[in-house]
A and B are shown apart, each in its own frame.
Chain A
Amino acid sequence: MHPLLINIAAGASLANAAPLTEVGLPLGSEAEPYSPVVAKLVSSIIVYSTWPQKPSTIDVCVVGPAEFADRLVSKRISGGKTLSVKKVSQSSVAASDCHVAYLGRLSMQEQRSVTAGLKGQPVLVIAENDPACRSNASICLLFQADSLSFRMNLDALSRTGVRIDPRVLRMGEQGSS
């Protein structure tokens, strides 16, 4: 059974990176254009996500060699939340009290073992290298030529206990229609 996938075109289109420059991340000075957009997208998703414990500090664990997580740094974001970003090894993810697991360039097996290890924990898994979204990650980033979008595995998401604002889900519905 295929997981229910929702393709969300987060309009952080590379062609008009205006929103990014607005948050003070000028594109021109960047080596590659994706990192700031990924940071923006991940923090936006976190803003619209709710954890059962309702933590004010969100622990973001970057797992494996992430290609576009350079700009994902500890900082205050909207919704009274603060990002706390740390690098975590594959084996220690399950015991690291992460709220968000950002999976870098891992193989499908590695990704699956991570998601399997996090089973039952309220952890939002964001996969960088899973365009088909088969690793049981809740959110899978899609790097396209001119934009960054993401897919959502609602089945996986519902099992984590993390809730994402339905308005964000609606955006995904529109993208898939």
Chain B
Amino acid sequence: MTVRNTSPEGATLRGMLAQGHLRMILFAVLLAAASLTLSGIGMLRGQALENVRLMTNVISYSVEPALFFGDSAAAEQVMSQTIIDRTVRRVEVLDAQGKVFASWSQDQKTSSRLDEAVSSILWPEPEVAAIMVDGERIGTVRAMPSAASILSLAWSGLIIAVCAIGVTLIATHIFARRLQEEVVAPLNMMAGVAEEVREKRDFSLRVAPYGLAEIDRLASGFNGLFAELKRWHESLVTENAELAYQASHDPLTGLGNRNGFVVVLDKSIERAKITGSKLAIFYLDSNGFKQVNDQFGHFVGDMTLCSIADRLRQCVRAKDAVFRLGGDEFAIILEGIAGDDVRQVAARIDDAMREPFVLAMQNAATLSLSVGHAVFPDDGTNTATLVHLADERMYAAKGRINGR
């Protein structure tokens, strides 16, 4: 199980949220800007056309005497006083023959190619008004509308859209961070708990509820998993302990077995080396157990072995350990002995074995034990030497009994 708080190579939730927000807001802003600009341009176009129509009518009226008198300078002066800049690009007064009598053009600065191009798209035909005197057409006013106001609206719309997008970017960043804190924080908390569980192997840790339905469902899933793991881990520990016990103990007598003996002896020698105390091991072998086993069966034999074990345990102190190495072979480890403790224990064992063992069908028999011992550090300082010596002495003792 690996938990990553931040992953530089993978996409982060925050990045994803920011991108989602940005797309959504950009779409909204552009849609609003485009629709507003388009409807604004449409409205302005109609309004501008109305203005131009009104203006051509006013010009046709006010320029009429000048045209009638034939004074083009006066006509142009009337026009320059009547025309509102940025409404029209160019106004021409034509005489009855269609020749240009007077004209007015927008300031070269405000007029541009762009204005011209846009105007010719928005209003392909110039606005025309007749100049009439007494039902007789003496001339025509021809006005080309200007897109200057529409262009300035478009420009300001563009600038506003750009500014709005800038603000959007910042806002998206902030919103994404806030959302990230709300969504990512519980996830990180969960990941932290999972990591702690892994490091401490403490399956009792639980993720606290956060108050978000989806997050809490995930958390309860996590907690359920932890509880399952805890049960599984506990049963595993118990099983391991059982197995370890079984591996080092004799199931019949409850004493330690050969494996247990080796482990305990090694540890005891280590301890004796450190404390500088003495230690003795006894090897014990039953004389005549085989006959009891053959004569009365395994069940009686097993009972007899249990009895021997009990008696041996009673011969030593509580802190001393008794082992059944296998068959009718036993061993004892005595720690912290002094003086003639070894001899006393050997004598106590001999005494204990003198009492007959009760066998089946009211039979009883006395079973003696051949004992061999070795003392650390007098007889040797390593396990192998001590074991070997004790074994040898035990066999020597058995030889003496058999030789009798």
Contact = CB atoms under 8 A, between A and B. Distances in A.
Contacts of A44: 65, 68-69
Interface string B57-72: 0000110111011111
B252 to A, nearest CB: 138
Contacts, number: 63
B70 A11 contact: yes
A10 B70 CA distance: 7
Contact of B71 (A9, A22, A48): A9
B54 interface: no
B62 A10 contact: no
A167 B64 contact: yes
B134 A174 contact: no
B136 interface: yes
A10 B68 contact: no
Interface residues of A, number: 23
Interface in A35-90: 40-41, 44, 47-48, 78-80
Contact of B65 (A12, A80, A165): A165
A175 B65 CA distance: 14
Interface string A22-39: 100000000000000000
B62 A11 contact: no
A108 interface: no
Main secondary structure on chain B at its contact with chain A? helix
B95 A10 contact: no
Nearest to B74: A171
A171 B72 contact: no
A159 interface: no
Contacts of B241: none
B74 A11 contact: yes
A175 B74 CA distance: 7
Given A22-B95, A78-B133, A41 B74 contact: no
Contacts of A41: 69
A171 B61 CA distance: 13
16 contacts: A9-B74, A10-B70, A12-B70, A19-B95, A44-B68, A44-B69, A47-B133, A48-B68, A78-B68, A79-B133, A80-B134, A165-B65, A167-B61, A167-B62, A171-B69, A171-B74
Given A9-B71, A10-B69, 10 more contacts: A10-B70, A18-B70, A22-B95, A22-B97, A44-B65, A79-B133, A79-B134, A167-B64, A167-B66, A170-B62
